[in-house]
């Protein structure tokens, strides 16, 4: 698989990464550890070198899974993880409290290093911007971890352009991770010009619209009780029915290219900028292979324009997050 560089600090990764969250969290109950380990090994064998996890996924379970599964491949892979959450006693012990205080960052970095079984975290993201801690202090704490050799690169997730600039002035930001796909194109206006100007890579999560752009979800689909899409307005049955028009556009385009809708959605992202590295997630080998096939679909500038022109005519319905999560993004 081709490689891409995130930021100007020399962080090189496979053009498509692997989002590991769904193996342990958010998309139903945690999956079988042996099966997920085999899938992660299969991804490495197929050329994936970039794996994304976070302390809060599980919580802790996903880092443990990724650390154990990828231990034999440390010389071949880049592992990104995230800090910034902790258990909230006011919310029954759920991990719903933000905490990016410098002393907390350093404490949880040590724990993540152990779970991931690594000497240094390749890419360490602030998971969500904590308004109680100046971003300069956050960047400064990660800078110290980098100086100590415990972290290699600094990242932000769902931050605003203003916050990115402030952080970057203290410690160069290698990558921003935020939602971006044909299902959610707001970053083109809000952050991508800043990323291009500052030489920061972009790692889109949910590049397949939380599964919607695969064409395998419709208004009749029932999600498991622990699937967080049950809380997402955009995934109500009525909104899925309305938004099906976008999937229809992508599906028609995919037929012309002899590809699947998922492959077109990923190829579109890869064609947008050379510093974009999507991280689709899956728990199935067949889907992994389908996703990786998206890196081989070449879209011309004309293809991209035609796809965007057709898809922009679809009025998408529903917010992308619940009210709680909506307030945590773009800060």
Tell me how long the chain is.
331
For 262, how many CA atoms within 13 A lie in the half-sphere containing its CB? 23
Helices (H), the chain: 33-45, 61-70, 102-116, 135-147, 161-170, 187-190, 192-198, 237-256, 261-272, 285-293, 301-311, 323-326
Phi-psi region of 206 (alpha: psi -120 to 50; beta: other; left: phi over 0): left
Residue 196: CB atoms within 10 Å: 12
How far is residue 68's CA from residue 272's CA, in Å, rounded to a whole number?
Answer: 34
Of 27, 57, 124, 180, which one is the catalytic site residue?
57
Q: What is the CA radius of gyration of the chain?
A: 19
Task: Give residue 81's Cα distance to chain centre.
Answer: 10
57 assigned to active site: yes
How far is residue 32's CA from residue 102's CA, in Å, rounded to a whole number?
Answer: 35
How far is residue 188's CA from residue 126's CA, in Å, rounded to a whole number?
Answer: 21
Pairing of strands 11-14, 3-6: antiparallel
Cis peptide bond prior to 180, omega within 30° of 0: no
- Under a CB-based contact definition with an 8 Å cutoff, are residues 281 and 228 in contact? no
For 162, how many CA atoms within 13 A lie in the half-sphere containing its CB? 5
The kind and range of the H/E element at 18 are strand 18-19
To the nearest 10°, report the CA torsion of 72, 61, 173, 277. Answer: 70
Q: Which residues are catalytic?
A: 57
């Amino acid at each position: 698989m081709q490689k891409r560089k995130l930021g100007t600090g020399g962080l090189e990764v496979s053009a498509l990464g692997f989002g590991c969250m769904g193996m342990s969290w958010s998309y139903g109950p945690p999956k079988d550890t042996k099966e997920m380990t085999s899938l992660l090994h299969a991804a490495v064998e197929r050329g994936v070198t970039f794996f994304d996890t976070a302390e809060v996924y599980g919580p802790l379970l996903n880092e443990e899974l990724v650390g154990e599964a990828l231990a034999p491949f440390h010389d071949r892979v880049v592992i990104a993880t995230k800090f910034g959450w902790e258990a909230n006693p006011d919310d029954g012990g759920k991990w719903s409290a933000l905490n990016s205080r410098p002393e907390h960052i350093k404490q949880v970095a040590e724990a993540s290093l152990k779970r991931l079984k690594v000497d240094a975290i390749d890419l360490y993201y602030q998971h969500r911007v904590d308004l109680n801690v100046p971003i300069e202090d956050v960047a400064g704490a990660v800078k110290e971890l980098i100086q100590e050799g415990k972290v290699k690169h600094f990242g932000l997730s769902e931050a605003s352009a203003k916050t990115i600039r402030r952080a970057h002035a203290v410690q160069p930001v290698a990558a921003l991770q935020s939602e971006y796909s044909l299902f959610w194109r707001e970053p083109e206006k809000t952050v991508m010009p800043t990323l291009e100007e500052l030489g920061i890579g972009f790692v889109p999560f949910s590049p397949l619209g939380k599964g919607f752009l695969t064409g395998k979800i419709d208004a009749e689909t029932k999600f498991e009780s622990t699937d967080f899409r049950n809380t997402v307005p955009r995934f109500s049955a009525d909104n899925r029915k309305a938004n099906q028009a976008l999937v229809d556009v992508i599906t028609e385009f995919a037929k012309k290219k002899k590809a699947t809708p998922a492959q077109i959605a990923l190829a579109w992202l890869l064609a947008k900028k050379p510093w974009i590295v999507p991280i689709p997630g899956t728990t199935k080998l067949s889907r992994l292979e389908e996703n990786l096939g998206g890196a081989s679909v070449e879209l011309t500038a004309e293809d991209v324009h035609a796809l965007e022109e057709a898809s922009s005519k679809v009025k998408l319905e529903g917010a992308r997050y619940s009210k709680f999560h909506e307030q945590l993004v773009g800060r």
